Amino acid sequence: MNDIVVEYSGWCKLLPQNASFVYIGQDEDDHRINGLDWLNLSEEKKADYILEDVVAAIRDSFDGSWEHIDVIEEEPV
């Protein structure tokens, strides 16, 4: 069975309280923060977090643009 590949690029803008970030730093903490908390972190600490759910960010955004979306079929490697 072939794979489906989705290529995309674009951006979205959302309110900080609608963003959720997950900690990926060296500590053994497993916690999440919202965008308000993330904005208050130093640049160094911000690097310890990633956006939890890109699809939710796009869904909850109030502005954005897709530059490119393409769906293609590809044979498995």
Per domain, the residue ranges of the chain are 3-74
Per-residue pLDDT 10s for the chain (77 aa) are 999 999 999 999 999 999 999 999 888 777 999 999 999 999 999 999 999 999 999 999 999 998 999 999 999 88
pLDDT in the model for residue 23: 95
pLDDT in the model for residue 26: 87
* Alpha-carbon separation of residue 66 from 36, 50, 55 (angstroms): 25, 21, 13
The DSSP output letter for 28 is S
Q: Encode 40-74: b = buried (16+ Cβ within 10 Å), e = exposed.
A: eeeeeeeeebeeeeeeebeeeeeeeeeeeeeeeee
List all residues 6 or more positions away from 8 whose beta carbon is below 8 Å from its beta carbon. Answer: 66, 68, 69, 70
